[in-house]
Chain A
Amino acid sequence: MSPAFGIARRELRGGLKGFRVFLACLALGVAAIAAVGSVRVSIEQGLVREGATILGGDAEMTFTYRYADEVERAWMEEAAEAVSEIVDFRSMATVERSGATDRALTQVKAVDAAYPLKGEVLLEPDIPLADALGTARGLPGGVMEQVLADRLGLSPGDTFRLGTQDFRLTAILEREPDAAGSGFSFGPRTLVLTGALANSQLLVPGSLFETKYRLAFASGAELAQLERQAERRFRDNGMRWRDARNGAPGVTRFVERVGAFLVLVGLAGLAVGGVGVSAAVRAYLDGKVAVIATLKTLGAEGRTIFAAYFLQIGALAALGIALGLALGAALPLLLAPLIAARLPVPAELGLHAGPLAEAALYGTLTALLFTLWPLARTEEVRAAALFRDVAGGGRNLPRTRYIVATLVLLAGLVGAAAWFTDATRLTLGAAGGVAGALLLLVLAAWGARRLARRLARTRAARGRTALRLALGAIGGPGGEATSVVLSLGLGLSVLAAVGQIDWNLRNSIATELPEVAPSYFVVDIQPDQIDGYLARLESDPGVEKVETAPMLRGVITRINGRPARQVAGNHWVLRGDRGVTYSAAPPENATITAGVWWPEDYAGKPLVSFAAEEAAEMGLTLGDEITVNILGRDVTARITSFREVDFSTAGIGFVMSMNPAALSGAPHSFISTIYAEEAAEAAILGDLARAYPNITAIRVRDVVGRVAEILGAIAAAVTYGAAVTLVTGVIVLIGAAAAGEAARVFEAAVLKTVGAARGQVLAYLALRSAMLGAVASVVAIAAGGIAGWAVMTFVMEADFSFEPVSAVLIVAGGALATLLAGLAFAWRPLSARPARVLRDRE
């Protein structure tokens, strides 16, 4: 057994006194990350296991604005054991009663008799879907979500209308097996049979709809091989493939992103905990100076001593990490019913080795990172410390090898986080943010100490004993200013950043967007309806502006004859179909940045004007040829101009605009935006819906509300994550207060001896705590503000404005937390008898 091991073992017999904060900090950080990871893996495994149910089949082939053609249909019939066709589109459900009309936006899913291929639809009352959708008493049946039925004041048995077709509401749609795979929808779901829509005037050429063909294969079918086959044959027709291997890619991506973000917030928590860990190790080793000096006197080398204390701290760190893992694994299991109920996707919450190992790695790296420097100081203790009061060699930085090791550990931690979260930029940003906040806090603590020292000596402080004492204590040597400002400040910084980002996002979506966005977004206006439509609106004084544009959708399949993805990678413009319009003249608000628009009467080969920013990202240049599959037909057009398109105002913006001759022959409809006064909105909607029952008007304020709701849920999740960071910060703070208790007891004893009453001592202790808390809070607001600005400006590409309410709450909360921690530890200093305290120190 090595001497270091022996020393470590004997020293550890002393117990864990003084290491409660150390253990709590490490355990909490590890637990938070382990819990987030466990929930994420549970969801991901649920998505994989239930992939086919979520998707509604083993595979799905999607087409835009058209049904599958005969060749495509034949391939499906041959490859699959069963095929189900679904038509998905937005529409308005209307109800007329006693002369008044109620309307609500709905996402209609028109199905065939084979639906659902996988899983089950649950209705209330619990009747079979076929019965619910079948025709009875001359009216086809339909089911809708409770929220929509409530909005329209419907109950089973009532009648509603889609387009020009009446339906009888037969049941409420409680659960749709493939709901999670459907992605974002503008309105609640209505389910009807496709056949029943024949007379609705909704599914006509040019209407905006998607068809989805769900395929069920024989067991053992090779999905990857089938995908390759289908892609090879039909991709250029605008077909998109999804299969059960990833039934809900949107949800998967979302869970990955939120999971990654929460892990990063958890890492910030670990960093806060690291401050506490470091302080605890420092305090422990300060108390061991005499032991270390004695060991040196007895002949122990520096590295033996380092190893002995490294082993002790290592054993304690292992214990803290193990506690954290146990807690992190147990929490999702304990809260399983609660978590599962709130998730829109199936998740079997259980034990997962992967996320626990990941959390253990973070915990180990963090523990090493924050204990290495204090441990390195053990080598600096000289035997002379026994005879003189010298703790170290006066060196501020540890030896080079420890600095190098620290840098390696830091790189390892950031690298591991980037690797596991698969979000390098976000990780680097977060690491930079935490490092920046730490630096800012250290600087602020230094600045606060200097300022306090100066203020303590000003005439204004004289005579105000408590204030002067507090300022003197903050500014004096060996003060705990730095550790308190660091511990609380970092936690508050994370919270402040979350607060600023959350408010700015909500503000930009809920307040700023509606100011520039149109009132209504109208789709499915047929070419023969556009004149009447415009006539109604242009004569209305409440309408400020109407924009219309022909609208087709297409998939970019090739660029200069080569597969588009080979040229431009996985750019968002290539993912799925994009809107395409045509126009003889450039739009009024467009700025041509390069090239020229075609002459108004141009009728030659197809030409296209492309959005400038996206073109630059995709590496397109003037003269390039892009092939767009529109309604199954390839249109190859040459790029003759680039133009600025602003997608942020929710107005009409197309990536591609072609010359009219290229597209006007294809069946299409118009889309339109209406900018109107809020008071005029209802009448406009009423008139338009009555005159053109097939069109769908989407109220932008409602969509904004839906988006804000989703953002609210994400913000709540992140706030919980930030709360863990803050709790860790408070624990570190309590640790710091506890560590300073002995010093406070002594100060109080001396102050009482020279004539201070308890009230004066208490005022001094309270002021000192509150001022330190205020410093931490002010820095947190600055750091949070900078982080918020950086995220809004560089990640969200939106405006940032400082939000004062959460900032004030954070300052107040920070000062209060420190004050309470300070007061909690003021009891002993106030109650201790001076004689005993002072005698103990003789």
Chain B
Amino acid sequence: MTEPILSLADARLTLAGNAGPVEILRGITLEVGRGESLALVGPSGSGKSSLLMLMGGLERPTAGAVRAMGHDLTAMNEDALARFRRNNMGVVFQSFHLIPTMTALENVATPLELAGHADAFERAEEELASVGLATRIDHYPAQLSGGEQQRVALARAAAPRPAILLADEPTGNLDTATGAVILDLLFGLQERHGATLVLVTHAPELAERCDRLVRLIDGRLATGEPARKAAE
């Protein structure tokens, strides 16, 4: 593998629960190569989403190291992490997480604007057109279907041309047909921009589309294998 774009070394995450501390991640060591697509699979509660959040700097590890594009994410404060994401990462969630008081266009333009792009709105419009929503740019999230909302979320994640795309069960809330469309768009974006994709999913057929598959069980890595090879 060439130099990893994402690397975790003995990353641990413990959260406070009602019955005491809960160990979510128990020492994850993992590298993701530039341009690679990686599927994180495992049963519910195994820590897939938490691992994705650590990679995105949205959660801090209790112990261990998380590096992205050569930067130590654990050494950055909240604002530095935000700026890092703004320039290098796009995140897609299962529940879309669009801001309800913004139109589709405004939602997509926001990260571009935060990154200081003068042409934020023009680019956002192009991005929405690329996911097939050219006619829906002035709609608020509540006026869009689930599939359309997820396409807006995809456009928002991809608009700044991030080197890393993180997707947390992006089709979990969608029907099979709509989910398939979203996946085509997601992988299309990844390929077009040469981005690294880390995807959390429950669906084996989705995981199969990735270069590599990592299984988590109870906060630990079970296997690491090339997904496509595994499928062959």
Contact = CB atoms under 8 A, between A and B. Distances in A.
A468 B115 contact: no
A281 to B, nearest CB: 22
Given A755-B87, A757-B83, A841 B101 contact: no
B175 interface: no
A839 B200 CA distance: 13
Contact of A463 (B86, B100, B113): B113
Contacts of B87: 755
B110 A751 contact: yes
B91 A753 contact: yes
Contact of B93 (A472, A477, A759, A842): A842
A465 B113 contact: yes
B115 A758 contact: no
B97 A838 contact: yes
Given A757-B79, A834-B58, A835-B58, A842 B94 contact: yes
Contacts of B83: 755, 757
B97 A756 contact: no
B12 interface: no
Nearest to B117: A463
A462 interface: yes
Interface string B125-167: 0000000000000001010000000000000100010000000
A20 to B, nearest CB: 25
Interface in B40-74: 49-50, 53, 56, 58-60
B106 interface: yes
Contact of A758 (B79, B109, B142): B79
A833 B77 CA distance: 12
A619 B162 CA distance: 88
A833 B58 contact: yes
A134 interface: no
B53 A835 contact: yes
A465 B110 contact: yes
A462 B113 contact: yes
A456 B106 contact: yes
A833 B56 CA distance: 12
Contacts of B114: 465, 751, 754-756, 760
Interface in B101-125: 101-103, 106, 109-111, 113-115, 118, 120-121
A753 to B, nearest CB: 5
A185 to B, nearest CB: 63
Contacts of A841: 95, 97
A743 B113 CA distance: 22
A389 to B, nearest CB: 9
A462 B116 CA distance: 10
Contacts of A751: 99, 110, 114
A473 interface: yes
A476 B143 CA distance: 12
B85 A472 contact: no
A539 B219 CA distance: 109
B30 interface: no
A62 B113 CA distance: 83
Contacts of A465: 110, 113-114
Contact of B106 (A468, A479, A746, A835): A468
A478 B120 contact: no
Nearest to B108: A754
Given A469-B110, A476-B102, A755 B115 contact: yes
A462 B123 CA distance: 13
B78 A476 contact: no
A747 interface: yes
B27 to A, nearest CB: 19
A368 B63 CA distance: 56
Interface string A718-762: 000000000000000000000000010011011111111111100
Contact of B156 (A479, A754, A833): A754
B59 A833 contact: yes
A750 B99 contact: yes
B206 interface: no
A478 B56 contact: no
Nearest to A474: B101
Interface in A558-575: none
Interface of A: 456, 462-463, 465, 468-469, 472-473, 475-479, 743, 746-747, 749-760, 833-836, 838-839, 841-842
Nearest first, the 5 A-B pairs at minimum CB distance are A755-B86, A476-B101, A835-B53, A835-B58, A754-B111
Given A473-B101, A475-B101, A842-B168, 20 more contacts: A462-B121, A463-B113, A465-B113, A472-B106, A477-B101, A750-B99, A751-B110, A752-B58, A754-B86, A754-B111, A754-B114, A754-B156, A755-B82, A755-B85, A759-B79, A835-B50, A838-B95, A838-B97, A841-B95, A842-B94
24 contacts: A462-B120, A463-B120, A465-B114, A473-B101, A475-B101, A476-B101, A476-B140, A478-B142, A750-B99, A752-B78, A753-B58, A753-B97, A754-B91, A754-B110, A754-B156, A755-B82, A755-B115, A755-B160, A757-B78, A758-B78, A759-B79, A833-B58, A839-B53, A842-B49
